[in-house]
């Protein structure tokens, strides 16, 4: 039985697991470094969603303290919640998928065209920034028809509700070296 599992592992191509595939899709640079820093500072998801850790704050001071501490402590988790909401919004909106495909298709066509030769329009060379602005202009009607503006505000609103409610109702983690504070009697 163990030999079969070893053979299955050997049969799988290297680098196709989810943990190794995602960083390969993102080119090296600032974006990849940022994602790696976020992945390194992510808190355990078990403690993040532990239902026993949720309670109502006693007063406004405790609510504010929880908001500040939880946003600092679970910052990377909240970033991935935000990215998950964006992914959910895009996947559940077929027209938004079409608009994104048009935009990225136009960008890819412009990229391939600039590899072959410089892009000249009306006798003037067009800079890459202007080319991508042209791609955005071409795809703008598709984004407008897809309701991209409302999708952006939905994602922002859902993010504020989810993260705000989690940060407000999740009990704060004990920090090493934290001073004990006495309450007045």
Contact 143, 99 (CB under 8 A): yes
Compute the distance between CA of residue 83 and CA of residue 81 in angstroms, rounded to an integer: 5
Query: DSSP assignment, residue 111?
Result: H
| Confidence check: pLDDT of 17 > 70 | no
Output the DSSP codes for 59-109: SHHHHHHHHHHHHHHTHHHHHHHHHHHHHHHHHT-HHHHHHHHHHHHHHHH
Quick: pLDDT tens for 133-165.
888 888 888 889 888 889 999 999 999 999 999
Q: How many CB atoms lie within 10 A of CB 54?
A: 13
| pLDDT tens column, 68-102 | 999 988 988 999 899 999 999 988 988 999 899 88
Q: With bands split at pLDDT 50, 70 and 90, how would you rate the model's confidence at 176?
A: low
Write down the pLDDT at residue 113. Answer: 82
Question: Residue 158's pLDDT is what?
Answer: 94
pLDDT at 132 over 60: yes
Q: What is the mean pLDDT of the chain?
A: 79
Closest CA relative to residue 169, chosen from 65, 10, 57 = 57
Residue with the bigger pLDDT between 123 and 168: it is: 168
- Cβ-proximal residues to 178 (8 Å cutoff; 6+ apart), any chain: none
Q: How far, rounded to the nearest angstrom, does the alpha carbon of residue 30 sit from its chain's CA centroid?
A: 15
Global confidence as pTM: 0.66
């Amino acid at each position: 039985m163990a030999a079969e599992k070893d053979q299955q592992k050997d049969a799988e191509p290297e680098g196709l697991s989810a943990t190794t595939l995602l960083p390969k899709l993102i080119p090296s640079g600032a974006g990849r470094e940022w994602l790696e820093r976020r992945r390194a500072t992510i808190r355990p998801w078990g403690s993040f969603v532990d239902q026993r850790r949720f309670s109502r704050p006693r007063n406004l001071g405790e609510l504010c303290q929880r908001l500040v501490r939880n946003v600092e402590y679970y910052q990377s988790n909240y970033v991935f919640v935000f990215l998950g909401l964006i992914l959910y919004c895009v996947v559940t909106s077929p027209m938004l998928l079409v608009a994104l495909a048009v935009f990225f298709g136009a960008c890819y066509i412009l990229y391939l065209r600039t590899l072959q030769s410089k892009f000249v329009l009306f006798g003037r060379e067009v800079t890459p920034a202007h080319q991508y602005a042209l791609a955005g202009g071409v795809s703008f009607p598709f984004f407008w028809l897809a309701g991209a503006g409302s999708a952006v505000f939905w994602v922002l609103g859902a993010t504020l509700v989810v993260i705000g409610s989690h940060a407000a109702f999740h009990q704060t983690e004990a920090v090493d070296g934290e001073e004990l504070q006495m309450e007045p009697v």
